[in-house]
Amino acid sequence: MACARILYVTVILVSMALDNLARRIPLLPPCDFPAIYNFGDSNSDTGGISAAFGRIPPPYGQSFFPRPAGRASDGRLIIDFIAEHLGLPYLSSYLDSIGTNFRHGANFAAGGSAIRRQNEAIFESGISPFSLDIQIVHFDGFKVRNTEIYHRARNLSDRRQGPQPQEFSRALYTFDIGQNDLVAGFRQLSTPQLRAAIPDIVNQLAAAVTHLYQQGARAFWIHNTGPVGCLPAATLYIRKAKTDKHGCNKDQNGMALEFNRQLKARVSKLRAELPQAALVYVDVYSAKYHLISNTKTYGFMDPLKICCGHHDSNIHVWCGQRTSVNGSEVLGVSCGSPDSYISWDGIHYSQAANQWIANHILNGSFSDPPLTPITQACLKH
């Protein structure tokens, strides 16, 4: 209890110090982002994997939409709260041809995606074929096709159906990817092998950023990877792992921290390589781990509890699925109060947790350069 009080007081003091520092810094005008282009995995997928391989079933989406909306959560994701914060519509998935609106951007993320291509099938391992390089190819095609349609349009009304060509350079480019590279590595590689692979993984993300820069992109908002060792799904299958006081897998979190350390250093190097770019590195790991470490303080229950699904002894029925056990059907249904859970389905965060995290990263509290809110992510510091 004493340690918890000390941690809580420390967080309060740090927050007050940041607030005081922010007051001393002249207010800069907010960026006028006309669009968002997002690249990532299920943490920011708004319908890609659902469109490509079959709709995500109920009760996904129940807390907000209130139906399955292509998101691996009971409601909105961090990318949705980013769009809200910037006054833009929710992003339509590039892969979803139904009900799409790309006027203010597009989402190239797909659940299960990794930065590097993985030699696995999605139906065997859950790893998506839409790796980051493929997402970049999709963006390139989208931009070229959109520009062609714009110049062929006969009137102003037709030209307003999609992004204006000149707006691509003023848009915000967001990244939330890398978790599945680690998850696949935990299965396939030894610890030394995975550690040795991290520089290549990070360099491939940097190559994607560089490519977009060469295409005219200038403002980048790059999330690091979260504490994968704190995902409840990890604890269901790894029984003998070393855990911290919150029940998180120490080795997996250690690898995530190493990935993040190298990613931050590479983003810093990119600032020198891409002189006209504004690159913001966002420490999502620290935001998520702080929430997990202080669940009761923020009104959440045990971070390893899962809201949706049935997990009892050796029976694991994932959210929205069903199975037969001894002649009886067992359903992976939702709990009664998703807003009190951090984990929605054992892998993905609940809408309430996503909103808490968004509120604490969008104001710049976890940004590098320090105190760079997303509304000023177009400005070089």
Using the structure block, give the residue that is written with the tokens 């790893």: 127
The H or E element spanning position 265 is helix 250-273
Is there a contact between 82 and 66 (Cβ–Cβ < 8 Å)? no
Q: Is 42 a catalytic residue?
A: yes
CA angle 130, 135, 139 (to 5 degrees): 150
SS3 of 112-168: the string is CCCCCCCCCCHHHHCCCCCCHHHHHHHHHHHHHHHHHHHHHCCCHHHHCCCCCHHHH
Of the listed 42, 113, 131, 343, which one is catalytic? 42
Residues contacting residue 36 through CB under 8 Å, at least 6 positions apart: 79, 82, 83, 86, 88, 91, 104, 105, 171, 172, 173, 174
Is there a contact between 131 and 39 (Cβ–Cβ < 8 Å)? no
Q: Give me Rg for the CA atoms of the chain.
A: 21
Structure tokens at 88: 């833009």
Using the structure block, give the residue that is written with the tokens 């309430």: 352
Residue 269 CA to residue 273 CA, distance in Å, equals: 6
Of the listed 293, 345, 365, 368, which one is catalytic? 345
Catalytic residues: 42, 345, 348
